[in-house]
Structure formats: C-alpha cells, structure tokens
Amino acid sequence: MTCEELIAHLSSYLDHEMDAALVAEVQEHIARCRNCRVVLDTTQRLIVLVHDEGRRVIPASQRSALFERLQQAFLNRPQTLENSNLRTAEDSAV
C-alpha cells in the first residue's frame, strides 16, 4: 500500500468500515511509514477534539437569546430576487 492509497482509505479505516485484508495492509503500511503514522495519529486526535467540543451545552438563557438573534437576523435578512418573487406571487394570490 502506498501513502496515497492509505490516505484514500483513512476514513474507512477510522470508521472500521473495511475488510480484514485491507485493514492488514493499512496496519502494515503504518508500521513502516512514520509519516502515515503521524497522519493517522493527528486525524484520530482531531476527531476526539471535535467530538468533545460537540458535547458543550449552551445554558437555557443563552440558547434563548441566541435563538432570538437568529430569528431576528432571518426576519431582517435582505430580500433576494427569489424571495421577492415569492412574496409577489403570494401577494397576487390574496
């Protein structure tokens, strides 16, 4: 297995979605290729960091304020041609 092939299969390897023969090839390559070991280790660490960050909980008061700001931004967004045509069609129907 080449470094390029390992990179192409990295996601499947990390997700445990490849057959045993291919897993063996990946592991053999990683055992002898320092660069690919670094890529694998860095990718695994990044996945852990992103996963852990996703566990943060926004307090209810902040969540409510955030929702309000998002709703106001949506309601006050500039009209696009598509939105203005839609409103014109709706207004005409009434």
Residues 12 and 26 sit within 8 Å (Cβ to Cβ): no
In SS3 terms, 7-42 reads as HHHHHHHHCCCCCHHHHHHHHHHHHHCHHHHHHHHH
Q: What is the pLDDT of residue 69?
A: 84
* More confident call, 12 vs 79: 12
How far apart, in whole angstroms, are the C-alpha atoms of residue 80 and residue 83? 5
Which pTM was predicted? 0.54
Q: Delimit the domains of the chain by residue range.
A: 3-53, 60-93
Q: Could you report the per-residue pLDDT of 13-55, keeping only the tens digit for each?
A: 999 999 999 999 999 999 999 999 999 999 999 888 887 766 6
